[in-house]
Amino acid sequence: MTHDHAAPAAPAADPRFTFSFTAYDDLPDGARWSTWLDVDPLCRGPEPRPGWVVTSQGAVDTELGVLKTGKEADVHLLERADPHDPAQSVVMAAKRYRSPEHRSFHRAAGYTEGRSVRRSRDERALKRGSTWGRQVAAGEWATAEWDALVRCHLLGLPVPYPVQVDGTELLMEWVVVDGEDGPVTAPRLAQARPSPALLASYFDQLREVMTTLVHSGLVHGDLSAYNLLAAGDRLVVIDLPQVVDLVGNLNGADYLMRDCTNVCTWFRARGLEVDEHALFGDLMAHAF
């Protein structure tokens, strides 16, 4: 006599121990895994963060090309997107600083007066001009701009939102205006032809920005129509690595006067009656 014994049914899987995953294909040339989680938390943008910031661990960074070249850095467009979550996708500006021997910017000493290097080893390398020292120098400029962007953002000033800094690379908001085929980079103020009313509004906005900076003890240091973006009816301030301490830097007041002269000269040439000495006096009244 035989007995059929059915195998006992497998117990139901405990959902707490059920995992699923998706395999990603190899990344193509010009792409890398997102570096968001690779950087220190203090090197990520201040909270509350805009909803467009992509924080997915599965996101991929893809190079889209060079946006502009500059004296000390080049700016590229970089898309960060999660291939399995279409809602998590954004195009950012990636500013990458060059080492000193590849720059055409040679006025660093005046701007860096009063700044300190975080580690004594790095400071010695900077003074010796070693290979490591040159790399540190490039990173210091990226960090300086990061610190300035974060501080300005927290002050409520119109600057690109700083997403993250990683060594010599700074990721930030891509400031755009509407174009015929979609968003395009906002033009520099020097390229804009604003109406008289908008011109006056731009100057009022700029004066407010400079007043807030000075009230916080800061000077842009290289302010001109080339470091301002005309994003529709608002101005956005860019290129902030050389921000100086108005009091801590012996040249602080001179840099402020030069900023006033640069911007007033541009606005006056377009028909707005403004005076750099009056602007400088108004700003200094807010400094102390």
pLDDT band at 209 (very low <50, low <70, confident <90, very high): very high
Short-list 234, 221, 110, 264, CA closest to 160: 234
Mean pLDDT for all residues in the chain = 87
Q: pLDDT tens digits, residue range 264-277?
A: 999 999 999 999 99
The residues pairing with 235 across neighbouring beta strands, listed in sequence order, are 230
3-state class (DSSP) for residue 238: coil
Q: What is the pTM of this model?
A: 0.82
How far is residue 247's CA from residue 162's CA, in Å, rounded to a whole number? 26
Reading the block at residue 38, the tokens are 């690779």
pLDDT of residue 2: 57
**104-118, 120-134, 201-215, 225-239: least confident range:** 120-134
**By the 8 A CB rule, do 31 and 24 touch?**
no
From the list 38, 61, 204, 222, the catalytic residue is: 222
Can you give the pLDDT at residue 130? 47
- For the chain, how many helices (H) and strands (E)? 6, 12
The residue annotated as part of the active site, out of 26, 239, 245, 259, is 239
Structural domains in the chain?
A: 29-173 (3.30.200.20), 187-285 (1.10.510.10)
For residue 125, what pLDDT is reported?
Answer: 43
Residue 126's pLDDT is 43
Higher pLDDT, 110 or 253: 253
- For the question of residue 239 being annotated catalytic, the response is yes
Q: Any catalytic annotation for residue 40?
A: no
Greater pLDDT, 117 or 24: 24
Tell me the percentage of the chain whose pLDDT exceeds 90.
Answer: 72
How distant is the alpha carbon of residue 23 from its chain centre? 33
Inform me whether the pLDDT recorded for 170 exceeds 70. yes
| In contact, 229 and 239? CB cutoff 8 Å | no
- Going by C-alpha positions, the residue among 242, 70, 251 that lies closest to residue 145 is 242
User: What's the rounded Cα separation, in Å, for the pair 279 and 150?
Assistant: 26
Instruction: Taking residues 86-102, report their average pLDDT.
Output: 87
What are 123-164's pLDDT values in tens digits?
554 455 544 444 455 679 999 999 999 999 999 999 999 999
Per residue in 186-197, pLDDT (tens digit) is: 999 999 999 999
What is the rounded CA–CA span in Å between residue 52 and residue 55? 9
Question: Which of 139-143, 223-227, 250-254 shows the lowest mean pLDDT across its residues?
Answer: 139-143
Nearest to 227 by CA among 102, 98, 71: 71
Token pair belonging to 254:
């001179």
